Amino acid sequence: MNENLTIIDIARMAGVSKSTVSRVLNNEPRVKPETKEAVLKVIEESGYFPSEVARTLVKSKSKLVGLITPFQCRSFYRNELFRDAFTGLTQVLKTYDYDIITSSGSGVELDTIQKFVRTYHVCGVILLYTIPDDPSLHYLLENHVPFSVIGACEGFTGINQVTYDYQAAMVEIVDSLLEQNRTRIAFFASDTGLSTTRSYIEGYRTGLERRGMPVLEKYLLDGMEEEQAIYSALRRYQHTHTMPDAIIASDDIICCHLLRFCQEEKIRIPEDMALFSLENGPVNEAVGISCINLDYIRMGNLAGKMLIDTVEHGQTTRIQLNHQLLHRRSSQKSS
Amino acid sequence: MNENLTIIDIARMAGVSKSTVSRVLNNEPRVKPETKEAVLKVIEESGYFPSEVARTLVKSKSKLVGLITPFQCRSFYRNELFRDAFTGLTQVLKTYDYDIITSSGSGVELDTIQKFVRTYHVCGVILLYTIPDDPSLHYLLENHVPFSVIGACEGFTGINQVTYDYQAAMVEIVDSLLEQNRTRIAFFASDTGLSTTRSYIEGYRTGLERRGMPVLEKYLLDGMEEEQAIYSALRRYQHTHTMPDAIIASDDIICCHLLRFCQEEKIRIPEDMALFSLENGPVNEAVGISCINLDYIRMGNLAGKMLIDTVEHGQTTRIQLNHQLLHRRSSQKSS
DNA sequence: TTGAAAGCGCTAACAG
DNA sequence: CTGTTAGCGCTTTCAA
């Protein structure tokens, strides 16, 4: 009920010292059961909430997990990874009584991380993406800040990571497309700087080269999170009569645009064009788009659990989940 | 560079007292320019970060905005509102140097809010949904905690709110459907307890009754965020030969399921069935689903700005944005 | 098993 | 314009 109760108020009301109250709050063993009960009763009845802020100040470690999200990049928030990983993370953190802080950053991830660590004393950090040899990771490692990476992570080992074998998955996709005698397979990627995307690209190359197919620049495109980029690429193909007969898209939104373009231009799916999404959003099933069944919610769950394990027990884990291709209408055999 | 610098270290390095450092940190006017510059230089060079935690403790007010998200409700995180409002909020908070804390709650929103307020001393709260006479709002009001509501909010006035006229929008949708001589118009709602949904329902009723059409229970369904609920409703219609000739869906995911069902069952859109989504996600445009053009990013922006205005200047604002119907293929005239 | 006292890093009077 | 001092609410030695 009451407003700004402090540990001292509780101590007074229970007739003990604030140290004792602190002890029961922290569930320390060296408290007489009866005392503990009495204190607990007072806490219960008074509606007292201990200040996480004060606790953080003295321990210089909070129960906040920093979630790094990019600066000024709408497309990121629109993809499945963000919301599903967020959901998974939220679920598991709730269980362990941690909370999430997301910062609105200043353009550079490292700044955000430093802010998390130095000004908010986060107990750990979750990274939804990394770049090769990521400076953020070096910072976290040097400063012994626990963290978990979701997705590929070039250049680091012995860290918390939950990932898929993106490269292998991509090879399988390319293979399945080649088996249908598709010869102009494009990859509309959305951020080729990220390690995860690089893995996909590696798989794309490998898949093609293994079958003796050339890797053409015009079919391996970056920056396709921009609507404009998609349509201008498509127009270019039209003008040069080099329209792909299969497109692999980094995310579902790109797929939606492709779908729309094909409808307008009377390009039949899958006869004239196969579509494959690297995300598994709700659209795909409804509209029959083939994709990989990456479980981002699970990744969020696991990444959160790993982080807590590091924070509380110093453990480090790496998990590689198994992927699976979901072949749907959009990538059926055309001829 | 260095690790755990405090204000005292900076004071020593700059040859002043920590109060002075504090003053330049808080940009107080009463500091000699040269002193200020010297201190700033030391801060810059040392890589010092002031502790937001300590500051919060003494001011009992942080620069954290609490974002309430529901407990164990995946569908929520999957809808457009969450990610777009989050994006918009993030954008504006960045500008004013605030951050977001999201809590993983304990099942009841009020608990989460109390935790925000009492243990983290958030400077304000953003609500993405409310129920009529919401206890959370009463708590916030009573405790003078600044907050902004996104969406409808029954039972409260004089609060920060950014909303649309959901009821009017729904009337327009129903009208446009009736004009096409659709006579079995269903509304697949996703959470009829929320004020926003209630506004829509109000509009649904009004729209039908105005034209002398009955409001049938079987066509006004709740809980449709569950995939199962959607399909069982649809099956029921089939068995009783009462399949609607128009369905208005609370969100895009419901729409996707409807789309899928119609494809499988050879129900033609829009000939046999019109579809209208109450969200404006990326799918709609691609697949040609009619919808309202609600701008959730803008709502997030505005709600954040309002909150900051309240926190910093005690202002209160209510904004009702203008909606617009986006008529696409899924709701074209059938006959 | 408990209490007293000393901080954690910062802000905010109050003097000077 | 600047320094001194007293806390903010909590944890954590150290004694008792």
Instruction: Establish whether the CB of B4 is closer than 7 Å to any nucleic acid atom in strand C.
Output: yes
pLDDT surpasses 90 at A77: no
Q: Gap from A118 CA to D6 C1', in Å?
A: 26
pLDDT surpasses 90 at A298: yes
Mean pLDDT of A170-197: 95
Cβ separation of A119 and B52 shorter than 8 Å? yes
A61-70, B71-80, B110-119: the lowest-pLDDT one: B71-80
Mean pLDDT of A313-329: 95
A218-238 pLDDT tens trace: 999 999 988 899 999 999 999
pLDDT-above-90 percentage for chain B: 79
Cβ separation of A90 and B82 shorter than 8 Å? no
pLDDT surpasses 70 at A1: no
C-alpha–C-alpha distance, residues A178 and A123, integer Å: 47
pLDDT surpasses 60 at A330: yes
The three-class DSSP label of residue A177 is helix
Mean pLDDT of B17-29: 92
Mean pLDDT of B51-75: 88
Q: Gap from A58 CA to D15 C1', in Å?
A: 22
pLDDT surpasses 80 at A327: yes
C-alpha–C-alpha distance, residues B262 and B257, integer Å: 9
Dump the DSSP string for B56-99: HHHHT--SEEEEE--SS-HHHHHSHHHHHHHHHHHHHHHHHT-E
Structure tokens at A113: 């991380």
Tell me the pLDDT band of A297, cut-offs 50, 70 and 90.
very high
Question: What pLDDT does residue B72 have?
Answer: 61
pLDDT surpasses 90 at A70: no
Q: Are A154 and A195 in contact (CB under 8 A)?
A: yes
Test the B interface: residue of A58, A60, A102 with most B CBs within 10 Å: A102
Mean pLDDT of B81-108: 88
Cβ separation of A53 and B49 shorter than 8 Å? no
C-alpha–C-alpha distance, residues B223 and B205, integer Å: 18
Domain boundaries, chain B: 64-164+295-322, 166-293+326-331
Task: Confirm or reject CATH 2.50.20.10 for domain A64-164+295-322, answering yes or no.
Answer: no
Instruction: Establish whether the CB of B47 is closer than 7 Å to any nucleic acid atom in strand C.
Output: no
The predicted model scores a pTM of: 0.92
Fold of B166-293+326-331: Rossmann fold (3.40.50)
Test the B interface: residue of A99, A121, A260 with most B CBs within 10 Å: A99
A250-294 pLDDT tens trace: 999 899 899 889 988 999 999 999 999 999 988 888 888 999 999
Q: Residue A128 burial (CB < 10 Å; 0-12/13-18/19+)?
A: buried
B248-295 pLDDT tens trace: 999 998 998 998 899 889 999 999 999 999 999 888 888 889 999 999
Task: For tokens 């270019």, name the residue.
Answer: A236
B176-185 pLDDT tens trace: 999 999 999 9
Full strand arrangement of the beta sheet holding A325-326: A220-221, A185-188, A246-249, A274-277, A290-292, A325-326
Test the B interface: residue of A48, A71, A119 with most B CBs within 10 Å: A119
The three-class DSSP label of residue A150 is strand
Instruction: Establish whether the CB of B50 is closer than 7 Å to any nucleic acid atom in strand C.
Output: yes
Instruction: Establish whether the CB of A32 is closer than 7 Å to any nucleic acid atom in strand C.
Output: yes
pLDDT surpasses 80 at A72: no
Tell me the pLDDT band of A74, cut-offs 50, 70 and 90.
low
Q: Residue A263 burial (CB < 10 Å; 0-12/13-18/19+)?
A: middle
pLDDT surpasses 90 at A191: no
Question: What pLDDT does residue B278 have?
Answer: 96
pLDDT surpasses 90 at A73: no
C-alpha–C-alpha distance, residues A285 and A289, integer Å: 6
Give yes or no on whether A64-164+295-322 and A166-293+326-331 have one common fold.
yes
pLDDT surpasses 60 at A2: no
Q: Report in angstroms the alpha-carbon separations of B126 from B23, B66, B102, B200, B251.
A: 31, 6, 10, 22, 21
Q: Return the DSSP state at A160.
A: E
Angle, CA B11 vertex, CA B10 and CA B12 arms, to 5°: 90
Test the A interface: residue of B48, B62, B90 with most A CBs within 10 Å: B90
Residues in A touching B121 (Cβ below 8 Å): 51, 53
Q: Gap from A155 CA to C13 C1', in Å?
A: 53
Mean pLDDT, all residues of chain B: 92
C-alpha–C-alpha distance, residues B164 and B162, integer Å: 7
Instruction: Establish whether the CB of A58 is closer than 7 Å to any nucleic acid atom in strand D.
Output: yes
Question: What pLDDT does residue A335 have?
Answer: 54
The nucleotide whose C1' lies nearest the CA of A49 is D9
Instruction: Establish whether the CB of B6 is closer than 7 Å to any nucleic acid atom in strand C.
Output: yes
B210-242 pLDDT tens trace: 999 999 999 999 999 888 999 999 999 999 999
The three-class DSSP label of residue A127 is strand
C-alpha–C-alpha distance, residues B213 and A275, integer Å: 44
- First-to-last C-alpha distance (Å) of chain A: 72
Question: What pLDDT does residue B125 have?
Answer: 96
Nearest-by-Cβ selection for A257 from B71, B256, B286: B286
B303-320 pLDDT tens trace: 999 999 999 999 999 999
Question: What pLDDT does residue A180 have?
Answer: 94
Q: Which nucleotides of D are covered by protein (CB under 7 A)?
A: 1-5, 7-13
A6-10, A70-74, B151-155: the lowest-pLDDT one: A70-74
Question: What pLDDT does residue A282 have?
Answer: 83
Nearest-by-Cβ selection for A119 from B50, B57, B90: B50
B241-261 pLDDT tens trace: 999 999 999 999 899 899 889
Question: What pLDDT does residue B79 have?
Answer: 82
Q: Gap from A119 CA to C8 C1', in Å?
A: 13
Mean pLDDT, all residues of chain A: 92
Q: Gap from B17 CA to D3 C1', in Å?
A: 6
Nearest-by-Cβ selection for A256 from B4, B52, B286: B286
pLDDT-above-90 percentage for chain A: 81
Q: Gap from A34 CA to D16 C1', in Å?
A: 21
C-alpha–C-alpha distance, residues B10 and A326, integer Å: 58
Structure tokens at A152: 């590929």
Q: Gap from A7 CA to C13 C1', in Å?
A: 25
CA B335, chain centre distance (Å)? 38
C-alpha–C-alpha distance, residues A122 and A143, integer Å: 12
The three-class DSSP label of residue B290 is strand
Residues in A touching B87 (Cβ below 8 Å): 74, 77-78
Question: What pLDDT does residue B31 have?
Answer: 87
Q: Are A122 and A101 in contact (CB under 8 A)?
A: yes
C-beta atoms surrounding A262 within 10 Å = 20
Report the chain B residue with the minimal C-alpha distance to residue A260.
Answer: B286
Instruction: Establish whether the CB of A4 is closer than 7 Å to any nucleic acid atom in strand D.
Output: yes
Residues in B touching A282 (Cβ below 8 Å): 78, 252-253, 256
A to B CB pairs, distance under 8 Å: 150
Question: What pLDDT does residue A62 have?
Answer: 96
Q: Are B101 and B122 in contact (CB under 8 A)?
A: yes
